Amino acid sequence: MAKAVVTSSNRSGQAEPLPVEFANTLSASRGALVEGLACPADLETWLRRHQGLFPDPGPLRGEAAVRVSDQQLCHARVLRDTVRRLIAARVDRKAPDPWDVAHVNRASSMCQSWPVLVWQDPRAPGAEFLCTTDAVTHALALIARSLVLLLAGEQGALLRSCRAPGCVLFFYRHHPRRAWCSSGCGNRARVARHQARRCVGDPP
């Protein structure tokens, strides 16, 4: 079950599913797109803040810090944009670009992990997880897998794109009355509707 964390995409405190949180690293403000993964440190911070959303064992596996290279940041942004297009296709019930499907499937296959037995204390055998790649590639693979399962499962039907003016975020409709990514977007949409009605009602 996802842990509740405060994120940029949901100020109510309820986290979106992992792939939606990742998609929402691209947002908009005052009519311009805002890149939430502008530098490696942005992705390092995002991974640290969202590690509770990753399936166990998460990519950080208890490590306090993760280092992201410029090339890994580039891979993350390409995957993020792919995730956005695939979620949009699911929301709009449109056929996806086959390249996007192939890309997310490839990202999903980029890391394998397995448990190994660590038995030093005779009374307390333990397990550690090893994986075939670095923590960042592991994280991107887990995001891709989460997206595959989300899009292919029943929950995929509850994905939405926020229709508030200028908003580019996605959300998961946790409850039937949820219509916006945030209460702020709901307010802006109501104001825009009110102004539109006033314009229509105004005498020429």
Report in angstroms how near the CB of residue 161 gets to Zn ion at its nearest.
9
Q: How far apart are CA 44 and CA 56, in angstroms?
A: 19
Report in angstroms how near the CB of residue 12 gets to Zn ion at its nearest.
12
Stretch that binds Zn ion, among 16-24, 130-138, 148-156, 182-190 (CB under 5 A): 182-190
Stretch that binds Zn ion, among 53-61, 84-92, 143-151, 163-171 (CB under 5 A): 163-171
Nearest one of 197, 147, 182, 178 to 29, comparing CA atoms: 182
Stretch that binds Zn ion, among 57-65, 101-109, 130-138, 165-173 (CB under 5 A): 165-173
Report in angstroms how near the CB of residue 29 gets to Zn ion at its nearest.
11
- Sorted by sequence, the CB contacts under 8 Å of residue 76 that are 6+ apart come out as 37, 43, 68, 136, 140
DSSP-based helix, strand, coil % in the chain, nearest 5: 45, 15, 40
Would you count residue 140 as binding Zn ion (CB under 5 A)? no
Report in angstroms how near the CB of residue 159 gets to Zn ion at its nearest.
14
Report in angstroms how near the CB of residue 197 gets to Zn ion at its nearest.
21
Q: Three-state SS for 19?
A: helix
Would you count residue 20 as binding Zn ion (CB under 5 A)? no
Q: Which of residues 45-84 bind Zn ion (CB under 5 A)?
A: none
Cβ proximity to Zn ion: between 66 and 164 the closer is: 164
Binding Zn ion (rule: CB under 5 A), the pick from 18, 167, 170, 172 is 167
Binding Zn ion (rule: CB under 5 A), the pick from 66, 143, 147, 162 is 162
- Sorted by sequence, the CB contacts under 8 Å of residue 175 that are 6+ apart come out as none
Q: How many residues bind Zn ion (CB under 5 A)?
A: 6
Report in angstroms how near the CB of residue 189 gets to Zn ion at its nearest.
8
- Sorted by sequence, the CB contacts under 8 Å of residue 24 that are 6+ apart come out as 7, 8, 9, 16, 36, 169, 170, 181
Nearest one of 78, 21, 72 to 50, comparing CA atoms: 21
- CB-based burial label for 87 (10 Å; 0-12, 13-18, 19+): buried
Would you count residue 185 as binding Zn ion (CB under 5 A)? yes
Residues lying near Zn ion in the complex (CB under 5 A) are found at 162, 164, 167, 169, 181, 185
